[in-house]
Amino acid sequence: MRKPYQLITVLLFIFTRQISADPLAGLYTIGGVNSNYPTIGAAVDDLHANGISAPVTFGIHNGTYNEQITIGNFTRTGNADDLVTFRKLIHTTVNWEFSEQAVDNNWVLRLDGAQYITVSGIIFNAVTPIFSTLIKLDGDTSNNTILDCDFNGNLSSGSLIVLPVSKNNRNLIFRNNSFIRGNAGIAFGTLNNGTFPTGVEILDNTFTSQSRYAIVLSTDGALIKGNNIFATTISSPDYQGLLIRDSTVVIENNIIHMTKGTLAMSLSRLLNNLQQGARIVNNMITLRLGPISKGIFVDLKKASIYHNTVRSDISIAPALHVDAGTQSVRIHNNLFINDAGGLTMQIDNRNSITSSNHNNLYTTGNTVAQLAGQDYATLSNYSDVSGLDLDSTSVAVTFIDITGINNLHLSSPSINDESLLATRQISVDVDIDGDIRSLGSVGMQVTFKGADEGNIPNIVTYSVGGTITGLNNPDDLVMSMNNNYDFNISTINEFSFTQELLDHNHYDVTIESEPPNKICTLINSSGSINGLDIQNIEVTCLNETDIIFENSFE
């Protein structure tokens, strides 16, 4: 005869299995006393077995969890985008590691085709001496977020977060994490059949003492914003802060502090995208010790490089190097400083530059820039030959602390220096700290060059205009001044451009489109402001028949 307690045990077992067979929904706890699951693995087993019917949160109790876990696809009977969150509980410290890794089994957490997973507030540790990967992304894993986590590698670790072979990966977000040591912080590797991860966002993270890279990506349209990257003396001599293969990447508001390595930021192309291009804005880069070779290296089809501050303390390290294969680059409102007497910019091919102006190119040495292998001692020499940087300056800049971490914020007197003012790029409305960039005076938007906005003084601006004769309909004439097409024509055939200029700024007026059956000419169309409004530009429009008739008598 079966004893009563044996029957009760069997009934409890059956009852428990029936409860756990239901899809998961709501909050569950892991570890500790009276939790739903003793281990992370037990929770994930239930997730795979039963799926979810609504958002699920697994709250993890204080402790160290030595487990290797794979999360794959599972059944969803609720909404397709219901989140599954693994996070530490309030006032706890959760360490997650795995001590039995091998070369082909070298991860702690693996997301294999998993969707809508969030991991938050967990400390991941590499405890094996070599090859350690902390999070591995496999398959078509997408729509996942890694948030507020610490990743502690060692000097011989692999990449702390790795996507070895990219497939149809989308919307992978890494925000407010800390990455210490490891070969790389985040690494997206080999491409698969020409596909690239999209919607990748790397935001507000800190990367410290990686041996080879902070971030290495092969992506399409990644956003890398607000990160702090520190190469220290334990980084390898060939360390690179950012190695990005992405034709439409956006890199904004990052601080990179290099005391070792070769490149702070290396950008190359994957797609021939000439419509959008890459965007490099509001970054601060410090180059402190050799053998660093350059700050920003660009080999892209198209790029906009605006409002960056790069200071080099190495004579062989220019702030910016544009490779000969680059096709269309705009370089505006940057502070490129070489306080060790080296170059500020190295441009391999003049045809690579669509426009470059309102920068501050300063060196303590005898060569300010290099163009197509030719060195130029002064900014004026460089501008005369290249036709670039006609309104740029070359003045020394003072920073709050050139040896500190956040070292490239302006200090006195530079924070009030009118020579560091520039025409505002409309698409850059805040600085690296989120401070609003000045709208300036009526008729001109002005701001400070570089990543940090200074104190905008009460400045005087000057108008550019003149007279027009022979024009019947003002709408039939299209002119531009420094690529600004907005101008006004009065009833007495006087005109002026709506954009005003600072003193000493260069202006160049061109006719873009003439009225039907007329030919228009310009006199006094270019020059520089010299403390007065420009009012002597003459536009004369004649009928084509009159010109033909006149020429027939010559």
Confidence class of residue 326 from pLDDT cuts 50, 70 and 90? confident
Q: Which residue has the higher pLDDT, 274 or 477?
A: 477
Strand residues in 366-455 grouped as ranges (E): 369-371, 374-376, 421-423, 446-448
The pLDDT value given to residue 386: 95
The pLDDT value given to residue 285: 95
Nearest to 268 by CA among 212, 197, 321: 321
Specify the DSSP class assigned to residue 5: H
The pLDDT value given to residue 16: 35
Q: How far apart are CA 311 and CA 290, in angstroms?
A: 14
Q: How far apart are CA 410 and CA 399, in angstroms?
A: 5
Q: Which residue has the higher pLDDT, 239 or 84?
A: 84
Q: Are 301 and 269 in contact (CB under 8 A)?
A: yes
Q: Are 198 and 225 in contact (CB under 8 A)?
A: no
The CA angle 543-544-548, to the nearest 5 degrees, is 120
Tokens of 10: 């069997």
Q: Which residue has the higher pLDDT, 505 or 44?
A: 44
Confidence class of residue 269 from pLDDT cuts 50, 70 and 90? confident
Confidence class of residue 267 from pLDDT cuts 50, 70 and 90? very high
Average pLDDT over residues 262-285: 83
Tokens of 483: 């690529």
Task: Collapse the DSSP code of 191 into the 3-class scheme (helix H, G, I; strand E, B; otherwise coil) and give the result.
Answer: coil
Average pLDDT in the chain: 86
The pLDDT value given to residue 384: 94
> Is 242 exposed, middle or buried, given 0-12, 13-18 or 19+ CB atoms closer than 10 A?
buried
Cα 363 to the center of its chain, rounded Å: 26
Tokens of 112: 């294999």
Nearest to 539 by CA among 530, 550, 518: 518
Q: Other CB atoms closer than 10 Å to residue 222's CB: what's the count?
A: 26
Cα dihedral 262, 227, 160, 232 in deg (nearest 10): 40
- pLDDT tens column, 193-213: 567 889 999 999 999 999 999
- pLDDT tens column, 277-288: 899 999 999 988
The pLDDT value given to residue 20: 53
Average pLDDT over residues 171-186: 95
Q: Are 126 and 152 in contact (CB under 8 A)?
A: yes
Residues 6+ apart with CB under 8 A from 412: 398
Average pLDDT over residues 399-423: 82
Confidence class of residue 165 from pLDDT cuts 50, 70 and 90? confident
Q: Other CB atoms closer than 10 Å to residue 329's CB: what's the count?
A: 24
Confidence class of residue 7 from pLDDT cuts 50, 70 and 90? very low
- Whether pLDDT at 103 is above 70: no
Confidence class of residue 323 from pLDDT cuts 50, 70 and 90? very high
Name the CA radius of gyration of the chain, rounded: 30
Confidence class of residue 3 from pLDDT cuts 50, 70 and 90? very low
The pLDDT value given to residue 518: 87
Nearest to 72 by CA among 13, 140, 161, 148: 140
Mark 402-427 as b/e (b = at least 16 C-beta within 10 Å).
beeebbbbbeeebbebeebbbbbbee
Tally of CA atoms within 13 A in the half-sphere of 369 that contains its CB:
30
Cα–Cα distance list, 332 to 153, 194, 209, 423, 426 (Å): 39, 33, 32, 9, 12
Average pLDDT over residues 298-303: 89
The pLDDT value given to residue 354: 94
Q: How far apart are CA 426 and CA 447, in angstroms?
A: 10
